[in-house]
Amino acid sequence: MVLKLHNTLSRKKEDFTPLDADKGVRMYVCGPTVYDTAHIGNARPVVVFDVLFRLLNSLYPKVTYVRNITDVDDKINAKAAETGEDIRTITERTAALFHADMAALNTLEPDFEPRATDHIAEMQVMIADLIEKGFAYEAEGHVLFSVNAMDEYGKLSGHDRDQIIAGARVEVAPYKKDAADFVLWKPSTGEEPGWDSDWGFGRPGWHLECSAMSNKYLGQTFDIHGGGQDLIFPHHENEIAQSRCSHGTDIMARFWMHNGYLMAEGEKMSKSLGNFYTVNELLGEFPGEAIRLALLKTHYRQPMDFTKDGIADAKTILNKFYTALKKMAGVQLENEPDIPTEILNALCEDLNTPKALSELHQILNDLNSSMGTSGWSGDLESFKAKLLGAGKVLGLLQQDPEDWFKGTTSADDLDEAAIEALIAERLQARADKDFATSDRIRDELAEQGVVLEDGAEGTTWRRV
């Protein structure tokens, strides 16, 4: 099985092989800046690279996944100034909420989750190194990376220096030698977070942490670096410049992967338009698994219009799968299920999750038609293993069907005891052939989001 991944460096799909089999597969993904609640656009890369992490884990014996937390940034400073809150309080709270939200989306934790503020020393070492090697210079309390010192600057994004300057909308700081130079270190006032350094009291530029931390946890060169497409320039371009010039290497990461942009309800997400869904608010309305599936229904590189209708659609789909799994609750699996070949093939084709989901539906269709109306036939153990094996790599279908159907997303849902009581009442009415009463009870429950199903083995219920 050959894994093919689209590499932003070449703009093509390439066969993936680890750089160093002994070190395993090493992947770095840009994580959140913890100044505000995660929105759905922040969740897309987390979910996408979570699938990749799961896939790599099934293909290779060892995978190391690093995702940073940016906890020093001017947006955080601005937030603190605005609310009067302590910076540490903001970053701790936001990071905790991020973790909770991402866990609700069924994402696995990375192996390392380094924070920028814990790696100031490593960043300072890198700055000193870049100055020494002639790639960076000091000016008015700043340290700047000298873009002209690097021949291949702009390779990732396809920009060249002249174009960058021609289109610039921000006025060029006077202390820069070249308009395209970017900051490695900048001075802080007493109000702002800062650290002592050879270049005065200050703080790092925002690209530097990823260079320093990926080096610390993964090495000078590693396999995969991921993030949102908006990070290609300048963030990743600058990371490459810092790391390669500091280490004297030809590459920083072999594969650069970028997920596409997200819109919300047909418009670009913006706070002023009020179409800015946070993961947290969506979780109050939909199960996390449905939100996850809604994200995976679109290929990761495609632009995506994220809608509540899309989540509702995803929830309907999950209902079908969990219905089948509920019917097979008594079927025991001997072994840990493997990923079905057709699912693996789809995912190995640059993480084609929509294709994989299509194959998953095919498995369900085969199962359901084998069960037919007359009951059970076919190799149920094999079907269940396929559904769960596919679900595992996609991060879906792993919960107990009972929990899926009976779990609540809202506190004012009818409680189980009340539902059971009404079902008992209705059962009696049906036994008495009092179908008017029977149907009334069913309608009442339906109004409260509870659907009844009369089967051969009695009446079951589920929430919609």
Site for RNA in 294-323 (CB under 7 A): 297-299, 301-305, 309-310, 313, 316-317, 319-320, 323
**Minimum distance between the CB of residue 299 and RNA, rounded to whole angstroms?**
3
**Minimum distance between the CB of residue 424 and RNA, rounded to whole angstroms?**
14
Out of 23, 115, 155, 159, name the contact with RNA by CB under 7 A.
Answer: 159
Which of 178, 285 has the CB closer to RNA?
178
According to the binding rule CB under 7 A, does residue 233 interact with RNA? yes
Candidates 126-134, 182-190, 191-199, 385-393 — which segment interacts with RNA by CB under 7 A?
A: 182-190
Which of 152, 435 has the CB closer to RNA?
435
Structure token digits, residue 8: 């932003």
Who's near 448: CB < 8 A, 6+ residues apart? Answer: 413, 414
Name the CA dihedral angle for 123, 126, 127, 130, rounded to a multiple of 10 degrees.
-160
**Minimum distance between the CB of residue 22 and RNA, rounded to whole angstroms?**
33
Which of 101, 181 has the CB closer to RNA?
181
C-alpha triplet 218, 99, 7: angle, nearest 5°: 40
**Minimum distance between the CB of residue 34 and RNA, rounded to whole angstroms?**
14
Residues 253-272 that bind RNA (CB under 7 A): 260-261, 263, 267-268
According to the binding rule CB under 7 A, does residue 152 interact with RNA? no
CA distances from 391 to 1, 53, 55, 341, 396 (A): 19, 14, 12, 13, 4
Out of 163, 249, 341, 398, name the contact with RNA by CB under 7 A.
Answer: 163
According to the binding rule CB under 7 A, does residue 180 interact with RNA? yes
Please report where in the chains the tokens 């100034």 appear, as a residue. Answer: 81
Candidates 334-342, 364-372, 394-402, 416-424 — which segment interacts with RNA by CB under 7 A?
A: 364-372
According to the binding rule CB under 7 A, does residue 226 interact with RNA? no
Which of 86, 366 has the CB closer to RNA?
366
**3 state DSSP class of 436:** helix
Asked if omega into 234 is within 30° of 0 (cis), the reply is: yes
Residues 442-461 that bind RNA (CB under 7 A): 442, 451-455
Q: Tell me the C-alpha distance between 432 and 429, whole Å.
A: 5
Strands (DSSP E) along 150-265, which ranges? Answer: 182-187, 202-204, 222-228, 253-259, 262-264
Name the CA dihedral angle for 263, 268, 274, 280, rounded to a multiple of 10 degrees.
30
Which of 112, 157 has the CB closer to RNA?
157
- Count of positions on this chain that bind RNA (CB under 7 A): 78
Residues 230/261, Cβ–Cβ less than 8 Å: yes
Q: Phi and psi for 228 in degrees, rounded to 5? A: -75, 155
DSSP 372-404: TTT---S-HHHHHHHHHHHHHHHT-S-S-HHHH
Residues 95-124 that bind RNA (CB under 7 A): none
According to the binding rule CB under 7 A, does residue 167 interact with RNA? yes
Which of 53, 182 has the CB closer to RNA?
182
Out of 68, 146, 238, 246, name the contact with RNA by CB under 7 A.
Answer: 238
**Minimum distance between the CB of residue 210 and RNA, rounded to whole angstroms?**
14
Please report where in the chains the tokens 């300057």 appear, as a residue. Answer: 165
Which of 134, 372 has the CB closer to RNA?
372
User: What is the CB neighbour count within 10 angstroms for residue 263?
Assistant: 16
**Minimum distance between the CB of residue 262 and RNA, rounded to whole angstroms?**
9
Read off the amino acid at residue 77: N
**3 state DSSP class of 197:** coil
Residues 48-87 that bind RNA (CB under 7 A): 74-75
Please report where in the chains the tokens 């009581």 appear, as a residue. Answer: 421
According to the binding rule CB under 7 A, does residue 169 interact with RNA? yes
According to the binding rule CB under 7 A, does residue 377 interact with RNA? no
Provide the CA 143 distance to its chain's centre, in angstroms.
33
According to the binding rule CB under 7 A, does residue 148 interact with RNA? no
Which of 183, 290 has the CB closer to RNA?
183
